[in-house]
Structure 1
Amino acid sequence: STLNSFAALGRPVHRQVREYLQAVFKADTPFPDVLKNNEKLQKEALLPLNTVTNHVPLQIGDYTDFYAGRNHAYNVGVLFRGPDNALQPNYNHLPVGYHGRASSIVVSGTPIVRPTGQILTNPTATPKIPVFSPCKRLDIELEMAAFVSTSNELGHPVPIEEAEDHIFGLVLMNDWSARDIQAWEYVPLGPFNSKNFATTISPWVVLIDALEPFRAQGLEPGNRDSLLPYLREKRPDNAYDIKLEFDIRHNGLSKEDAPIHVSDSNTKNLLFSFPQMLTHHTITGCNLRTGDLLGS
């Protein structure tokens, strides 16, 4: 089973359940007979980690990936268009995003098959003739992603002051990207096969209330005057201070070898918050549903 039914109950219920579970697991729990003194339930509910098989936590109907990391967006823009045209004029005014493929979202640890597609072996050649080849520039994008909890009706946008209550929680996400396939296909409609072969997410959803102590200001305040009013939040600290690290272990390393450290980041590096992404997604009247996933 998945967490969709629980997510759809809404944030007040999520908060009550979280507080109750915290009380049950406290050393001085006020409910000792629920678990602490209940050996039978302990055997049924507390499982050794090495016996657990993880799954995608919710049934995902739709998946949208945003482009809210400005440093990342600039670097990718330089890769494809050069530094003078790296960021488009709209970038600082709205959360740029595209619709992804929900069917190929998999849980952490799932093997990924190297994609094959059309690539240009010599981008400077004239005429430009692609070849059919396995991807030679497989890349990762380290992200956080948000699950939608309660849905909105078609034709009814979610106001920015209500958007956070439509977010169930966050997961880690790896937006696998075939850069050579992407470079050839992305004009004029954006990435397609270069992104649709796999997206990895973590199995554990961290409820939005659990992240409240990590509130921080993002790249720019969430209430900045340069935003149109529908995106302007009441408070400047609309991001989270969550440190992210990326290490890689390739086939040439043994289990005893330390992985190779590649990158450090932080969710403070986002230009737009998840509530801003959700509000912008619905501003046309688009209806989001329980279990929809929003990448950052």
Structure 2
Amino acid sequence: MTRIVPSLAAISQPYDALFCDLWGCLHNGVAPFAPAVAALQEYRARGGKVVLLTNAPRPSRYVIASLDRMGVPKDAYDLVVTSGDAAQDAMFAGAVGQKVWHLGPSKDDGFFDDIPPEWQGQAAIERVPFDEAEGIVCTGPFDEITEVPEDYRPQFLLAKGRGLKMLCANPDVVVDMGDRRIYCAGALAALYQDMGGEALYFGKPHPPIYDLARRRLAALGGPRDPNLLAIGDGINTDIAGARGEDIDALFVTGGLAMGQFGPDPENPNEELLNDWLRTRDQAPQYAIGMLR
């Protein structure tokens, strides 16, 4: 049974590092949550490491810049590791070919233009029109505010017929931007798979992003086999991924699933929570209304 805890500090002492999600845990896409920032600052002040592990489809430096604009202080984290970082490795390795059609907004151009040092000088990835593509790189809808996955069904039928693989740079299905819920690349990839197409994933809950996070955490020093705690509000990404990696998890109930556990987002009802988790075959070690 999942234990509801009053704060991160109540359980964090045994853990060497945190793998903490961003949207719904540290911020809402518009502004940071002050109690969450304070909780991570306090954890780091006691010697723990904080890795912000996000399914953002952009290289980490772009996410750091976004955090700066939002006002998230640098002393709240040590590293940012993104789905974009992990997916970039696969793209530059040619996982979906050298000529790709980019399905996504212009804000994700850094996924192609910001070439990691280890791939400098290698064969270039060329963005081409759909009709010339060997594969698809999906970072989200072209217009995440107005579009839904079904808008892409006709083009996906053509892509499937040509046998194009889709590299999904963000397995998240939806996120909440302020009070608006928007679709992510994961929703498009799920539709493509439902239609019989092939999609490749590199963010949570899939292993590549965890492997990359561990390598970058190890580069900071510390224990070779750290005791980790994953924090997130995505039951199918953060929590399922932690389970697959044998990492303890703290489920933030006041994020994507808010409203499922009683009228007070800050204080989930234990019976409702555990019934809901059972229907999803998940049992994270801990739960909290909002990260604090």
Q: TM-score, normalised by structure 2?
A: 0.21
